[in-house]
Amino acid sequence: MTARFRFRQPSVIPGFGLTFGFTLAYFSIIILIPLIALVLRASGIGFEGFWKAATDARVLASLRTSFVTALFAAAINVVFGTLIAWVLVRYRFPGRRIFDAMVDLPFALPTAVAGIALTAIYAPNGFVGQLVAPLGWRIAYTPVGIVIAMIFIGLPFVVRTIQPILEETSREVEEASATLGASRFQTISRVLLPSLTPAILTGFALAFARAVGEYGSVIFIAGNIPFVSEIAPLLIVIRLEEFNYTGAAVIATVMLLISFVMLFVINLIQAWSRRRYGYGS
């Protein structure tokens, strides 16, 4: 077949040139040029300098804090987000719509508000903090606090990715599994969860990416102790306040690279699930 590539597809709606040009310009101004500027700025100090700045002990510690806490938060979100999605899809109870709407609250709430609210509860003199203080546990001002803030902001991503797939999975599939002799446990572990796997992985990746980049809510509850509870985005701000713009750009570039890799992984998961199951989120 000699299908010739045609740049302009015939269409009933005119204006391809205009809209495509606008898209390109917009994309460049908003995303591409700033990112290139960031990388250029960071590369201004040469590879040696870049490597030295990027592997600085405090930078590495902050990156580790960011990624490890985000990993924990995303993992916890996957478990409970799946549960919440299940309850919202499968059961009809009074107030279901309100709960459903509340899932989106972390999307809408200014993150600083979330940070203050969480800190008020989890600080050693706060409502929950008081309860665990006698056990010698501290939540706020430790990585545990960071994880809690990240769980809060990442939850909607997991719920909203799994919900539509769960709605699409008919009760009939579970009934079919039962008629074939599968126990409830087998139906969940062999039929239900595997069919949700792509959505769960996507939700995980999204929640993880969001948690890594979170700033506002985390800095209130984290305590920001260097080498313990200092996250990478905060270190960027600190570098900026020291007028060390290149140092800030280096950390930013490292985070940019990691984000790119993760975006790539999310896309791979989605492409794989679409190919295999004919759907994707």
Partner 1 sequence: MDVRVDHVRKEFDRFPALHDVSLDIHSGELIALLGPSGSGKTTLLRLIAGLERPTAGKIFFGDEDASEKSVQERNIGFVFQHYALFRHMTILENVSFGLKVRPRSSRPAAGEIRKRAMELLDLVQLSGLEKRYPNQLSGGQRQRVALARALAIEPRVLLLDEPFGALDAQVRRDLRKWLREIHDRTGHTTVFVTHDQEEALELADRLCVMSQGRIEQVGSPDSVYDTPTSPFVFGFIGESSELPVNVDKGDIWLGDRPIGISSPEASGAARLFFRPHDIELVDNGAGLAGVVATSRRVGGTRRVELDIGGAGHRVEIDLPFDHPAGERTQIAFRPKRWTLFPPA
- Which residues sit at the interface with partner 1, rule CB under 8 A? 170, 172-173, 175-183, 186, 190-191, 194-195, 197, 276-279
Residue found under tokens 């948690």: 211
* Pairwise CA distance, residues 248 & 69, whole Å: 21
The nearest distance, CB 91 to partner 1, in angstroms, is 16
The nearest distance, CB 175 to partner 1, in angstroms, is 6
Cβ closer to partner 1: 58 or 184?
184
Cβ closer to partner 1: 168 or 242?
168
The nearest distance, CB 207 to partner 1, in angstroms, is 22
Residue found under tokens 């080498």: 227
Q: Is 10 left (phi over 0), alpha (psi -120 to 50) or beta?
A: beta
Nearest to 67 by CA among 232, 251, 236, 235: 232
The nearest distance, CB 203 to partner 1, in angstroms, is 17
Cβ closer to partner 1: 245 or 277?
277
Cβ closer to partner 1: 261 or 271?
271
